[in-house]
Amino acid sequence: MKKIPLTPSSYCLRNTLFGEIAILWSVYREQPKILRVLLSNSDYSAGQWLKTSFPYCISASCAEIDVVAEQILAFLTGADIYFSLDIVCLDWCSPFQQKVLRAEHGIPRGHVSTYQRIAKYLGMSNGARAVGTALANNPFPIIIPCHRAIRSDRTPGGYQGGLEIKRALLKMEGISFDDNGQVATKNLFY
């Protein structure tokens, strides 16, 4: 059966301590599903990215999407929120990226993992770069906490919202940094 690409039809925009976030969603298999979360960064606000890349989306929400939006706002102020994957549509992602995103989703608050550890967990001992690429293209930042993946040298690595937000999110979760900017924790996962 051929997979029909699903296009976001609606969005909701929220202001956070880290700038705007946009949640793009649509009804899929009779359920509202998040198709993408856009974070603001130093180059674009989420609203600008939304208008440029998804000009046909309309501002709309529903109870299920509002709950997730409020959870994201709470998470970004330091609340310990666990997001269910039931609200996101992983069907846009390749099977490999789905495995990486599910592994990343499994990293608990207050822990980090390296791209290499995740690759080994997935049975790909030389797959750190592929894991990093899959996470760099995570359509669901915050919901799937890709800020919890770091480089093997314990430097933070990249993040869609920028390095400053990645460091802030990790600090909110109790992860500290040494004077060289490396993650200083023994809470490594996988």
Which residues are marked as active site? Answer: 146
Q: Is 185 left (phi over 0), alpha (psi -120 to 50) or beta?
A: beta
CB atoms within 10 A of CB 100: 29
**Contact partners, residue 95, CB within 8 Å, separation at least 6:** none
For CA atoms 157, 158, 164, 167, the dihedral sign is negative
Residue 188 to residue 190: CA distance in whole angstroms: 7
